[in-house]
Chain A
Amino acid sequence: MDRNYHVFSDGRIERTDDTVRVVTDDGEKKYVPIENAEALFLHGQIDFNTRLVSFLNKQGVAMHVFGWEDYYAGSIMPKRGQTSGRTVVSQVRAYDDTDHRRQLAAAIVSGSIHNMRTNAVYYDGRGRNLETEITDLEAATERVADDLPVDELMGIEATARKAYYRTFNEILPDEFRLSRREYNPPPNEINSLISFGNSLVYANCVSAIRATALDPTISYLHEPGERRYSLSLDLADLFKPVLADRVLFRLVNRGQLTRDDFETELGSCLLNERGRQTYSKAFEETLERTVDHPQLNRNVSYQYLLRLEAYKLKKHLLTGEPYEPFKRWW
Chain B
Amino acid sequence: MTDVDPVIRLLETARGNPVDEPFRVTGVMMQYYHVCERELWFESRNLEIDRENPTVVRGTRVDDTAYGEKRRNLHMGMISLDLLEDGRVVEVKPSSRLTEPARMQLSYYLWYLERVAGIEKDGVLAHPRERKREPVELTDERRATVEAAVRGIHETVTRETPPPAEEKPFCDSCAYHDFCWC
Q: Using CB atoms and an 8 Å cutoff, list the residues of chain A in contact with chain B.
A: 81, 84, 86, 213, 295-296, 308, 311-312, 314-315, 318-321
Contacts and interface: CB of A to CB of B under 8 A. Distances in A.
Interface string B151-170: 00000000011100000000
A320 B164 CA distance: 11
5 contacts: A84-B47, A296-B181, A308-B182, A311-B178, A321-B161
A312 B47 CA distance: 13
Contacts, number: 30
Nearest to B164: A321
Nearest to A312: B182
Contact of A308 (B45, B160, B178): B178
B45 A318 contact: yes
B46 interface: yes
B48 interface: yes
Contacts of A86: 45-46
A84 B181 contact: no
B67 interface: no
Interface of B: 45-48, 160-162, 177-182
Nearest to A90: B45
Given A84-B46, A213-B48, A320 B182 contact: no
Contacts of A312: 182
**8 tightest CB-CB pairs across the interface, nearest first?**
A308-B182, A311-B179, A295-B181, A311-B182, A320-B161, A319-B162, A312-B182, A319-B161
A213 B46 CA distance: 11
Nearest to A84: B46
Given A308-B178, A314-B179, A318-B47, 11 more contacts: A84-B47, A86-B46, A295-B182, A296-B177, A308-B182, A311-B178, A311-B179, A311-B182, A319-B161, A319-B162, A320-B160
Given A84-B46, A318-B45, A296 B160 contact: no
Contacts of A296: 177-178, 181-182
Nearest to A2: B52
Q: Which residue of B48, B179, B180, B182 has the most chain A CB atoms within 10 A of its CB atom?
A: B182
Contacts of A295: 181-182
B96 to A, nearest CB: 26
A39 to B, nearest CB: 15
Contacts of B48: 81, 84, 213
A315 B160 contact: no
B169 to A, nearest CB: 14
Contacts of A81: 48
A94 B97 CA distance: 40
Contacts of B181: 295-296
A315 B179 contact: yes
Contacts of B179: 311, 314-315
B53 to A, nearest CB: 13
A3 to B, nearest CB: 14
Contacts of B46: 84, 86
A265 B162 CA distance: 57
B31 to A, nearest CB: 21
B46 to A, nearest CB: 6
Contacts of A213: 48
Contacts of A321: 161
B152 to A, nearest CB: 19
